[in-house]
Structure 1
Amino acid sequence: MKENTQLSSRLQHWFANGAIATLAVTSVVTLAFIPPAKASFENSPKVVVDEVWQIVNNEFVGSDFDREQWQVTRQELLERDYASQDEAYLAIREALRDLGDPYTRFLNPKEFEELTTQTTGELSGIGVRLQMDDAGSALTIVESLNNSPAKEAGIQEGDRILRINNQPTALMKVEQAAELLRGEEGSSVTLQLTRPNKGLFEVTLTRAPVEVPVLHYSLQEENGMKVGYMYLEEFSSHAAEQMQRAIAKLQEQGVNGFVLDLRGNPGGLLFASVDIARMWMETGKIVKTIDRMGGDREYSADRTSLTELPLVVLVDGYSASASEILAGALKDNGRATLVGTQTYGKGTVQSVHSLSDSSGLAVTMSRYYPPSGININKHGIAPDVEVSLNREQQRLLRSNPTVRGSQRDPHYSSAVGVLRERFAQQSVPATPPAPISIRQLIEQVPE
């Protein structure tokens, strides 16, 4: 069993926000509420406490969930006096911790806003990717995203931001700058920039919703073979449409096969993984979910696949949940070869609820099983081709993004080898039929 301490910081962030293989975020739900233990507590921190309790009581799936003890917990929670929302939040977290499920988590309003941004795949801002230059002294534009205020204003890769709303960026971290650039839709932000051959200039941009790219792809030539390489960061609500566009574009460029990189992908929306599986599979089962009442729902391919070209999927110990749904479906149906190391092993699904004070709750509400029916929770999925990395190779992949998806990447290199074998098999001409003599032809003529 892998420990949470082994997770990368990005995976920890997703787990902390309960965003692994979730259903879509829902608003506050109307459940069969049990009357309060005390008199009405309208406008009290107890409102959120009781909302959380009710949702867990109605939805939570846990093998050893003690409903009688949960009733006692409710009584204890509502008998307390809370001087602030923060005190109520602390009490909620303590109660949820007793459930023994790391994926049922409470999110304060800021955490819930971050989760919503991740799952929707959108944020309100100007649409740029940033980094510090090699000297660590200048905030530099890496990319202006398509259909964003920055793109429309002509901001280019390599432009350096000197001031944001007249605040110097020289001592800012990238995260601090990004926070200043985000803001309410319709609000404005003024940037002072510099560009080689243009010098100093200033632009004022109006913030707008921007689709965050979670899929990065490229066409790569590998000794006469064209490989469509795709790196999927997470399963946001825009992941499927980005995948659809990428497959179409790469096929237009004449690819011979695909490598889908799910390494480090902590999951996201269940439905996004199902939609993407259907792009690769013409037929076959994808995943089955089972709730605490024993009710099950099965998702299958629906004859809408976009390609039959060979596919290799890269996985590792940080490929979790929605990544495992997709990888398991492709492996079990013989649609793809998995290369890498054992996946994380998270076989549960969370529903996410917004609460009355803009906080949120992610609660485990079902378990899922790949087509094989094997319980992968705490076990993961074994790759078809196991390729372990030594510490130096792991360090290089983490520290140098250009290594990922290159021949210096052992997982990718192995995937190319698998594709080459498939490509060679498809390229071998069929054995010509043996010559037929005149006598044989005459004997085959019907009387």
Structure 2
Amino acid sequence: MHKRVFQILLLIILQITLTWLSWTTPVFALTEDQKLFSESWRIINRAYVDESFNHQNWWSIREQLLRQPFKTRDDAYDAIEKMLATLDDPFTRLLRPDQYRSLQVNTSGELMGVGLQIALDAETGDLTVITPLDGSPAEQAGIQPRDRILKIDGFPTSELTLDESATRMRGPRGTRVTLTLLRDGSTTPEDVLLVRDRITLNSVIAELRSDLRQTPFGYIRLSQFSANATEEVAHAIQSLEQQGAKAYILDLRNNPGGLLQSGIEIARLWLDEGTIVYTVNRQGILGSFEAVGSALTQAPLVVLVNPGTASASEILAGALQDNHRAILVGDKTFGKGLIQSLFDLSDGAGLAVTVAKYETPNHTDINKLGIMPDRVIPSEALFRNQVATEADQQYQAALELLSSQVVIAKNG
């Protein structure tokens, strides 16, 4: 009897062991292309902000797509893009090797193309202009923030990824590209012919001005948050302080953002204390970045914003507004409150992954909503030589407010 019980137990153990082995041992070895797909799946599984993965079984997505044959590397890329599409997040995307290299060019100071910062509208999926770059063919043609790009050389952008659209707009200097645009609020598309050119990315323009009741003030225009933007802004403030600046206008209009850390560090140049931004990860855990007592000036400050003010620019504007360090003037900002990180893939491609969202110091979630200025002045189309002049109504409103701040500071 004991022997029979022992034999039965041994059989059960053997069956359990075989079952466990069948679960843990792969039926086949993964190809290099399948390994690349699995590598991408693991990155999203570990880092993506939404742990429900858009309310779907993330493991099942992997299993379904791995059943498809991958004959080429492009098949693997296509499968990765199908996987990412299920997240319904236009900011989480695959960057094929040439696209990944092109993205890295954006912080090198120069590129070729038409000079547009673009994004996919989070609600409609439309290719949307964040802002044209200063002095670019796009700016000279009058393209505005929130214009929708329907076609590139006749090809519908609805059939392109964000990076494919960017690639089609880049090209050698002197070549032409036609964009079919639909202006925000219009119902009639129009074709705009652009000639590609070399785009120089000058992050900071700074000068001392005196049209503030004879009080010298510093005008600083920050066009993007590049790797060296903090150093350039710090140098500008220090130089303007030495020249006798008693107040400042910081122009963040048409600044599409850039490096998150640059936004945080530039906020610290203006703040002695206080929270700069909160980040919220997939577990809902709040992290924060604080000012560290290194403000370079205590002079009155007005910040100019508009619908082209996005991402890291909104972090900076929100930090200065919520900490009562600056008055915001202009129009409602773009409303991009999601944080992406870049992950290298083993073959030279990359993944841009939404890893968190951010909130302003007052816990305002601005994603899709934007930041409302303290004084709203509607945006208007200006030529480049009209920005920050008498023709610029937002700038004039900033001067008016800064004048009152200077008077208060003097009397105080």
Paired position in structure 1 for 2:60: 72
Distance change >3 Å, CA 385–CA 176, structure 1 → 2: closer
Please state how far the C-alpha of 1:63 moved relative to its aligned partner. Answer: 7.2
**Residues 57 and 67, structure 1, Cα contact 8 Å, conserved in 2:** no
TM-score by length of 1: 0.65
Aligned equivalent of 1:117, options 98, 101, 105: 105
Runs of 5+ in structure 1 lacking a partner?
Answer: 1-33, 133-167, 180-210, 431-447
Deviations 1:353-403 (A, max 9, x none): 1211211111111121111012222211110000013xxx32xx2xx2111
Query: Is 2:283 the counterpart of 1:293?
Result: yes
User: Which whole-Å CA distance do the structure 1 matches of 2:388 and 2:76 have between them?
Assistant: 47
Runs of 5+ in structure 2 lacking a partner?
Answer: 1-22, 113-133, 138-171, 178-193
Paired position in structure 1 for 2:394: 411
Q: How many residues align?
A: 319
Paired position in structure 1 for 2:221: 231
Paired position in structure 1 for 2:28: 39
Aligned equivalent of 2:377, options 387, 390, 415: 387
Query: Is 2:204 the counterpart of 1:215?
Result: yes
- The residue identity in structure 1 corresponding to 2:42 is Q
TM-score by length of 2: 0.70
Query: Is 2:44 the counterpart of 1:56?
Result: yes
Query: Is 2:314 the counterpart of 1:331?
Result: no
- Aligned with 2:78: secondary structure? helix
**Residues 174 and 196, structure 2, Cα contact 8 Å, conserved in 1:** no
Deviations 1:224-265 (A, max 9, x none): 232311221211221111111111111122112111111121
Paired position in structure 2 for 1:271: 261
Does 1 or 2 have the higher relative contact order (CA < 8 Å, sep 6+)? Answer: 1
Distance change >3 Å, CA 419–CA 357, structure 1 → 2: same
Please state how far the C-alpha of 1:84 moved relative to its aligned partner. Answer: 2.7
Paired position in structure 1 for 2:85: 97
User: Which whole-Å CA distance do the structure 1 matches of 2:86 and 2:299 have between them?
Assistant: 48
Q: CA RMSD for the aligned pairs?
A: 3.0
- The residue identity in structure 1 corresponding to 2:303 is V
**Residues 56 and 363, structure 1, Cα contact 8 Å, conserved in 2:** yes
Deviations 1:117-176 (A, max 9, x none): 33x445699xxx9989xxxxxxxxxxxxxxxxxxxxxxxxxxxxxxxxxxx987789986
Deviations 1:2-49 (A, max 9, x none): xxxxxxxxxxxxxxxxxxxxxxxxxxxxxxxx989663334x332322
- The residue identity in structure 2 corresponding to 1:49 is F
- Aligned with 2:315: secondary structure? helix
User: Which whole-Å CA distance do the structure 1 matches of 2:24 and 2:244 have between them?
Assistant: 64
**Residues 38 and 78, structure 1, Cα contact 8 Å, conserved in 2:** no
- The residue identity in structure 1 corresponding to 2:202 is P
Distance change >3 Å, CA 73–CA 285, structure 1 → 2: same
**Residues 37 and 79, structure 1, Cα contact 8 Å, conserved in 2:** no
User: Which whole-Å CA distance do the structure 2 matches of 1:314 and 1:113 have between them?
Assistant: 33
- Aligned with 2:57: secondary structure? helix
Paired position in structure 2 for 1:350: 340
Deviates more, 1:228-237 or 1:271-280: 228-237
Please state how far the C-alpha of 1:214 moved relative to its aligned partner. Answer: 1.2
**Residues 339 and 386, structure 1, Cα contact 8 Å, conserved in 2:** yes
User: Which whole-Å CA distance do the structure 2 matches of 1:36 and 1:415 have between them?
Assistant: 67
Distance change >3 Å, CA 294–CA 130, structure 1 → 2: closer
User: Which whole-Å CA distance do the structure 1 matches of 2:334 and 2:403 have between them?
Assistant: 28
**Residues 277 and 286, structure 1, Cα contact 8 Å, conserved in 2:** yes
- The residue identity in structure 1 corresponding to 2:100 is F
**Residues 337 and 384, structure 1, Cα contact 8 Å, conserved in 2:** yes
User: Which whole-Å CA distance do the structure 1 matches of 2:73 and 2:243 have between them?
Assistant: 55
Query: Is 2:272 the counterpart of 1:282?
Result: yes
User: Which whole-Å CA distance do the structure 1 matches of 2:85 and 2:27 have between them?
Assistant: 24
**Residues 121 and 238, structure 1, Cα contact 8 Å, conserved in 2:** no
User: Which whole-Å CA distance do the structure 1 matches of 2:352 and 2:24 have between them?
Assistant: 23
Paired position in structure 1 for 2:404: 421
User: Which whole-Å CA distance do the structure 2 matches of 1:411 and 1:261 have between them?
Assistant: 10
User: Which whole-Å CA distance do the structure 2 matches of 1:241 and 1:36 have between them?
Assistant: 53
**Residues 37 and 78, structure 1, Cα contact 8 Å, conserved in 2:** no
